[in-house]
Amino acid sequence: IIVVNLVAPAINMVLGLEAKTRTDWVVKPEKDEDQDAALAMGVKLKEAERMSGADRAISDAYAAQIKTGLGWVEIGYNGFNPFGYRYQCGYVHRREIWWDWHDQDPGLKKARYLVRRKWYDEDVAIATFPQYEALIKNCLNNWSGWDPTTMEQAPPLYMDQSVERSFAYQDEEWRDTLRKRVCLYEVWYRTVERGFIIRYKSGRVVEFDEQNPVQKAAIMSGQAEIEAAIIPKMRQSWWMGPHRLVDIPTPYPHQDFPYVPFWGFREDRSGVPYGMIRAMKPLQDEVNARRARMLWQLSARRVFIDKDAVADHTKMMQEVARPDVYAKIDTQKGKRTISEMIKIEDNQGLTAQQFEVYQDAATKLQDAAGVYAQQLGKKGDADSGIAISQLIE
């Protein structure tokens, strides 16, 4: 199969432009007297950006955003390496995450759920949930050797086995008994409850805490007002197949998902994300098809021959297909010349036409991506450096 990849240079140019124009995070003060505090916070933020791997995570998510239309970055505590930095930022592949499609907000501020599906080795799963060691081992052993009459945890494990029997998912979806792995579903979901909030005159809003004397003093002094409100609450639960392991409030101080989506383009009606490659695929397919067609036409021959010109027409077809054809022509029949008995034509004219359409398709592919020839290192209409920079801008 002949493939001339014209998509890759355009995508690599866009990704390289992101890497070249990347800047460090900066904290800027709103007031002049806060200049020193902002400078100190900027130092800490720069440290977090460097130590958590945020730049690489953002670049990887940006690449997925450009190519396929969606990338994810996880921002949270570093719970698997106590010797590393406290916070971590990591790229998450789109195939691992499901989210509430009823919310079209780019930040998923009103989405009710987000699920991440990830495989863990047996020892990692047991270290994460040590209270379920017996359950994890029995699931990976297909409950072989389990005797409810001799086990100390027979009653709860008996219920777990009963639930597993009625589970409709295939075993391959959540456990690998050969590799000793389990697939854990990390479920984040929003609940709402009625409560009270404190609204300070400065604009700050916090949830009311009856045990907080500072909030009570602010209310009594008139510095803040208490209001009834609907308060969203984020919760986290972990599932292993049909077994719910944990269901707790979010460990983070905010009420958002710890996964940030990087959106490319989105369909207006369905909200389906897509990237730059979507507009380039039809023209890329046309370029590849025409390239293969031209190579075929260069070696193809059209033969017009009298039926009595040769004795074996099958052998004649094989000879014509060769670059060094050698065929025996019977010119004694009717005293005809070879040109009268056989005519061989190539497709040079058609190949030239195909090449013109091929070049047009290659140009249209760059137009569909919004990429100029100068950006790919090719010569174009603009020659000066300022003109090229303006085209890139």
Model pLDDT for residues 37-78, shown as the tens digit of each residue: 999 999 999 999 999 999 999 999 999 999 999 999 999 999
Q: What pLDDT was estimated at residue 240?
A: 95
Percent of the chain with pLDDT over 70: 86
Instruction: Using CA atoms of 163, 164, 166, 169 in order, give the dihedral in degrees to the nearest 10.
Output: 130
Q: What pLDDT was estimated at residue 332?
A: 61
C-alpha closest to that of 298 among 342, 355, 358, 363: 355
CA within 13 Å, CB half, 23: 4
Q: What pLDDT was estimated at residue 374?
A: 67
Q: What pLDDT was estimated at residue 150?
A: 60
Low-confidence ranges of the chain (pLDDT < 50): none
Which residues share a beta bridge with 223? none
Q: What pLDDT was estimated at residue 287?
A: 82
- Contact predicate 112/133, CB 8 Å: no
- Contact predicate 90/53, CB 8 Å: yes
Distances (CA, A) of 325 to 316, 333, 342: 9, 22, 13
Q: What pLDDT was estimated at residue 107?
A: 92
Distances (CA, A) of 282 to 273, 285, 286, 364, 372: 18, 5, 6, 10, 19
C-alpha closest to that of 391 among 377, 374, 369: 374
Q: What pLDDT was estimated at residue 331?
A: 64
Q: How far from the centroid of its chain's Cα atoms is residue 123's Cα?
A: 29
